[in-house]
Structure 1
Amino acid sequence: MAKVESFQLDHTKVKAPYVRIAGTERDGKGSTIQKYDLRLLQPNQDALPTAAVHTLEHLLATYLRDELPGVIDVSPMGCRTGFYLILWDEHRPADVATAFTRVLQQVLETEEVPAVSALECGNYRDHSLFSAKEYARQALAAGISDDPFRR
């Protein structure tokens, strides 16, 4: 059976909010892809409501592309405690943490969520900018770390 990196993480030891490298893949042609864990909430203690997840997904997918080169995808975690960020090339955790912090600050200033029509979104009615801002505010107040095991 394949080993899934996120299933190997001891979720009782991490301290959210944080960013961490969840994987680096290299092919034989010199291409590198990195996967980051962008954790907003403490695992097994809280979860983002679906409307907040959905709105944050739209905002992070848009704003992170402006902050970091090589963004391939931003996807919500099934546990609803954060997101996965997939990037071309290698990035330093500190740089991703800085970008994530800037993006969450942008969320607080956002007045309109991109791509929330039936044409652009598969569930356009399930959004909450208010909730997205509340969770962004909470994470920013706690401070985004590039060390998931900070004490």
Structure 2
Amino acid sequence: MADKMNVESFNLDHTKVKVPYVRLAGIKKGEYGDEIYKYDVRFKQPNVAHMEMPALHSLEHLLAELSRNHSDKIVDISPMGCQTGFYLSVINHDDYDDLLNILEATLNDVLSAKEVPACNEVQCGFAVSHSHEGAKELARAFLAERAAWKNVFA
């Protein structure tokens, strides 16, 4: 294997993971004691499948907005450039099982959402690229595999 790289996910053997999963990807400690926990929330098998951009984009909006209804510890939810998942960051919250419950509750909210939040030219940088139904399909499929979320490797 190549030398260790600065980006944690570049050191992950993507051929050995089995989706869906939620994996702790790193912990950053601040100089005043705060801790940021970064999770790899993988929806699609790397190098096999990916999320289509309109669905991914809508799911990003829905997760970002709705997750904060379940926790004030959410720092960010960002899509991966490879379109296979999201990075979810929380502050001062190391309870993995609770994080999974927050994610589950949020994804259930996605299924009942009547619209994609901030899906307009004022609040979004590419407002025409959304798929509410696509986002719901992604959420539904991920939730259907809830029992597997803790299993990262095949």
Q: Fold conserved (TM > 0.5)?
A: yes
Query: CA offset at residue 90 of structure 1?
Result: 3.0
Residue from 110, 117, 121 that aligns with 2:124: 121
- What is the distance in 2 between the residues matched to 1:112 and 1:23? 33
**DSSP 3-state at the match of 2:116:** coil
CA distance, structure 2, for counterparts of residue 139 and residue 60 of structure 1: 13
Q: d(CA) in 2 for partners of 1:49 and 1:80?
A: 7
Picking from 76, 79, 101, the partner of 1:76 is 79
**Alignment match of 2:36 (pick from 33, 36, 41):** 33
Stretches of structure 1 that go unaligned for 5 or more consecutive residues are none
**Are 2:145 and 1:135 aligned?**
no
Classify the secondary structure of the residue corresponding to 2:81: coil
2:54 is the alignment partner of 1:61: no
Percent identical among aligned pairs is: 44
SS at match of 1:66: coil
Decide whether the 8 Å contact of 1:70 with 1:89 is kept in 2.
Answer: yes
Compute the displacement of 1:19 (Å): 0.9
1:60 alignment partner AA: L
Question: Residue 5 of structure 2 contacts residue 11 of structure 2 at CA under 8 Å; is this kept in 1?
Answer: no
* CA distance, structure 2, for counterparts of residue 72 and residue 146 of structure 1: 21
Asked whether 1:146 is paired with 2:150, we answer yes
Report the CA distance between 1:83 and its aligned residue: 0.5
User: Deviations along 1:40-78, whole A, 9 cap, x unmatched?
Assistant: 111111100000110000000011112223211111001
Output the CA distance in 2 between the equivalents of 1:13 and 1:59.
Answer: 29
